[in-house]
Structure 1
Amino acid sequence: MACGSINSQFGAVVLWHGKGQSISSNLELSKCKPQLRLSSLDSLRQYCSPFTLQFKFKVPSQNFVRSVVIKCDHPQNADFPRYYSKKEKKPFPVPIVELRRAARKRFKDSRGQPKKPLPPPKIGLLVKSLIPLAYTVYNARITLINNLRKLLKVVPVQACKWCNEIHVGPVGHPFKSCRGSSASVRNGVHEWTKAVVDDIIVPVEAYHLYDRLQKRITHAERFSIPRIPAVVELCIQGGVDLPEYPTKRRRKPIIRISKSEFVDADESELPDPDPEDPSPPLLTEIPDTEIIPPSTAEETVALAEETLKAWEEMRGGANKLMKMYQVRVCGYCPEVHVGPSGHKAQVCGAHKHQQRNGQHGWQTAVLDDLIPPRYVWHVPDVSVPLSRELRTFYGQAPAVVEICVQAGAAVPEQYKPTMRLDIGIPKNAREAEMAV
């Protein structure tokens, strides 16, 4: 009798025949699949590029063994981002021990050496080489929002009514993972509604600073200072000029009096600035009433490819800006502050905020704090709904990537490991039990 197994760890499907079976040098998958009920071979053939087969024949005593190994050329089964509960503090990007060790080494190496000049952001100047990048990130964000509004007209996206989980597909997934209000009463079942752009791109806001080096915002000033998207604030501090959000631009470095005190240099003697090249044009968001969805499949694919490109430009450019312009995040809540030090507004309501008098626990932010990639379940086939029993076989991807993939765009290489494209998905729970 024929038997089979799916090795999900190594991305291989192995078939073998027992005693008394005849061996044929030409193994046809179409003949093996009905016997072994391994419908996952079709999905492997679809997603694995190139799709290769390796045949191994062994003739032990009294038994004939025949195996087929299917290999893929990209990594697989990467771990999903860890979910942190509200009672946990975010880990530091670099452990405290490593920071202290690096500080001691810098102090030891700087003995007897002249002081190194501070980078432009710390002396109040712009990094001129990063100004075009700031405009690129700003326009990429606007392009991403406009394109997502168009794609939502042709790609259905579901959002839970009670929690922040979303799902890309005509119907929501059946997994009982709701953590919203009265989730225990509903046994963790989601209630799905139509999603909007804010469900896909998490709105992370920050205070707009007229002067990046100004004194820290106090608790009494929390309502008098406007709040704007954190990515936009990062672009403004990187060199983007927006008339509605003025900011101070210095032409000479500041004069540092102490660690926390400085005065501006006298710029009255400087000549008039030379006329610079015109700044790149700034895009604007298209209202929902003026959104025109793509009419053909070719337009949808082209729009999805453009959306993926804008997503990568925004994240990649913001990551480069964050290496020069510091961004802070609270270790207990999602609050983000673009600046050298966080504000003093006592509005943190996370776990044990009473012990901190409502103040945030600021630490260095990473890219996912500024632009959170809201992960969703990857749907291999839109016509086949996800099964609760086969949850371990499904992968995940950021919502923007999943929307573009379902719209016809090619899967980016960096997202293939978590999407588990090389894992064969069984038809039912009985077939899943045969997987090793």
Structure 2
Amino acid sequence: MDSGSVYLQLNRITFSHCKGRDFDILKHSTQQGLSLLDSLKKTCNFKLRLRNSSQHSTHHVQSLVVNCNHPQNADFPRYHSKKEKKPFPIPIVELRRAARERFKKSKSQPRGPVPPPKRGLVVQRLVPLAYSVFNARITLINNLKKLLKVVPVNSCKWCSEIHVGPVGHPFKSCRGPQASMRRGLHEWGEAVLEDVLIQVEAYHLYDRLGNRIPHEERFSVPRIPAVVELCIQAGVDLPGYPTKRRRKPIIRIGKKEFIDADESELPDPDQEAKKPEILTEISNFEILPPSSKEDTILLAEETLKVWEEMREGAKRLMKMYPVRACGYCPEVHVGPTGHKAQNCGAHKHQQRNGQHGWQAAVLDDLIPPKYVWHVPYVDKPLENDLRNFYGQAPAVVELCVQAGADVPEQYKPTMRLDVGIPSNVREAEMVV
């Protein structure tokens, strides 16, 4: 429900004892204890207004005014077909309008300073944040490996859909090969870490201001997780992935041409300087599940914390270090401009000769939150006829919630926790 005032008109209701009295309405609740009024009491304020439709009529119109300050139920993320291009984060019309405004204001004002990444430098105040995001990702992976030992997760053998719970859901939503022969039903199997946490890879750049990667060198450039590449460009030093660190701004000699400044007069960098600690992933053979229920709850709460820490930190880094995403396929490139590799296999890629349609990336392009159905009762499987009453949440969040962690506030609207689920199909048909 959106914030604002919602008017529920209950017309043609006859009350023989309504003069000067207050009424309790909508008290009827389902067997599971949630009615419309009960679901709105938590976050909304109520005002009851009564007025007569005519002076000599016994029929009255009752208006229930609901002032909701916090959203309760939000729509699910829109599913974009592979045959259409992803929308721009900011519409083109607004970008052009903002560019015209900046051009008008810049006529009588001096040019502002250029951000350090465009001059080839690293933002020093964001270096600790880059290490924090990198370590949060490693901690998240290690914790998810442990939680998968105690919380069952099912994945479809034909498509990329997963379900957190002992039994897969019965919804006919499979889009994999031969889905029409199976009438959209899934074939469930045991899921792995890559099914829960999607690893988006990107090319590693030795010099982020260097030439764009041509199509012929697409196999010679290493590919690493995009979040790791973003942390490397933001200041994280990894032994296996060297990168160029400039200590002086570059010298521009053209729009796309520059030369490096002379750094011979600068003292040599201190190799013995203390750097933040870098965590490492635990192998699958060393993973031990939590020994008790209390340890599982603590592990789930820590996993949710590092999940939000990784996402919030990556979002801050993306504001300073640009990330590009293809509008047709899941390809991501960390850098000011996208690469030239013609490896886009999305819809109508022949017309583009396999080239990517680069645009500004959002956080969900870098760290995709794989949405799954929220299971309100773990010991009871979902029902196909009650699909409209169930909510959704990212797979990591749903996994931690089923392990015992509290539901974060920002995910409650899509999880539809305040929706009363009917006890049977007949009761669901009576819902208007």
After TM superposition, the score normalised by the length of structure 1 is 0.87
For residues 128-149 of structure 1, what are the alpha-carbon distances to aligned partners after superposition, in whole Å with 9 as ceiling and x for unaligned?
1100000010001011111011
Farther-moved stretch of structure 1 (72-81 vs 239-248): 72-81
Give 1:240's aligned amino acid: V
Q: Find the aligned partners of 1:141 and 1:26 in 2 and give their Cα distance.
A: 54
Contact 2:74 2:414 in 1 (8 A): yes
Q: Find the aligned partners of 2:201 and 2:232 in 1 and give their Cα distance.
A: 14
2:32 is matched with which residue?
A: 40
Q: Find the aligned partners of 2:37 and 2:46 in 1 and give their Cα distance.
A: 14
1:181 to 170, 177, 200: 177
Contact 2:116 2:122 in 1 (8 A): yes
Question: How much does 1:40 deviate?
Answer: 3.4
1:133 is matched with which residue?
A: 129
Q: Find the aligned partners of 2:425 and 2:185 in 1 and give their Cα distance.
A: 20
Contact 2:301 2:400 in 1 (8 A): yes
Q: Find the aligned partners of 2:324 and 2:129 in 1 and give their Cα distance.
A: 21
Q: Find the aligned partners of 2:172 and 2:114 in 1 and give their Cα distance.
A: 52
1:332 is matched with which residue?
A: 328
Secondary structure, aligned partner of 1:360 = coil
Q: Find the aligned partners of 2:45 and 2:129 in 1 and give their Cα distance.
A: 45
Secondary structure, aligned partner of 1:228 = strand
2:97 is matched with which residue?
A: 101
Give 2:372's aligned amino acid: V
Question: How much does 1:104 deviate?
Answer: 2.0
Q: Find the aligned partners of 1:76 and 1:11 in 2 and give their Cα distance.
A: 16
Farther-moved stretch of structure 1 (382-391 vs 45-54): 45-54
Contact 1:48 1:421 in 2 (8 A): no
Secondary structure, aligned partner of 1:40 = coil
In the alignment, is residue 428 of structure 1 matched against residue 424 of structure 2? yes
Count of residue pairs the alignment pairs up: 419
Q: Find the aligned partners of 2:339 and 2:222 in 1 and give their Cα distance.
A: 13
In the alignment, is residue 292 of structure 1 matched against residue 284 of structure 2? no
Question: How much does 1:68 deviate?
Answer: 11
Q: Which runs of 4+ in 1 moved over 6 A?
A: 9-12, 17-21, 43-49, 51-58, 60-73
Contact 1:158 1:172 in 2 (8 A): yes
Q: Find the aligned partners of 1:57 and 1:70 in 2 and give their Cα distance.
A: 11
Give 2:410's aligned amino acid: Q
- Counterparts of 1:35-434 in structure 2, within 5 Å, are 38-41=30-33, 50=42, 74-273=70-269, 278-434=274-430
For residues 354-399 of structure 1, what are the alpha-carbon distances to aligned partners after superposition, in whole Å with 9 as ceiling and x for unaligned?
1111110100000000000000000110111111001000010000
Question: How much does 1:37 deviate?
Answer: 7.4
Secondary structure, aligned partner of 2:239 = coil
Query: Relative to 1, partners in 2 of residues 1:350 and 1:39: Cα closer, same or farther, differing over 3 Å?
Result: same
Secondary structure, aligned partner of 2:185 = coil
Q: Find the aligned partners of 2:141 and 2:38 in 1 and give their Cα distance.
A: 31
Q: Find the aligned partners of 2:150 and 2:100 in 1 and give their Cα distance.
A: 56
Unpaired runs of 5+ residues, structure 1, are: 1-8
Give 2:319's aligned amino acid: K
Secondary structure, aligned partner of 1:328 = strand
Q: Find the aligned partners of 1:134 and 1:294 in 2 and give their Cα distance.
A: 29
Question: How much does 1:206 deviate?
Answer: 0.1
Contact 2:135 2:279 in 1 (8 A): yes
Contact 2:7 2:64 in 1 (8 A): no
Q: Find the aligned partners of 1:401 and 1:235 in 2 and give their Cα distance.
A: 23
Query: Relative to 1, partners in 2 of residues 1:72 and 1:148: Cα closer, same or farther, differing over 3 Å?
Result: farther
Q: Find the aligned partners of 1:293 and 1:71 in 2 and give their Cα distance.
A: 46
Q: Find the aligned partners of 2:104 and 2:229 in 1 and give their Cα distance.
A: 36
Q: Find the aligned partners of 1:323 and 1:434 in 2 and give their Cα distance.
A: 49
Secondary structure, aligned partner of 1:175 = coil
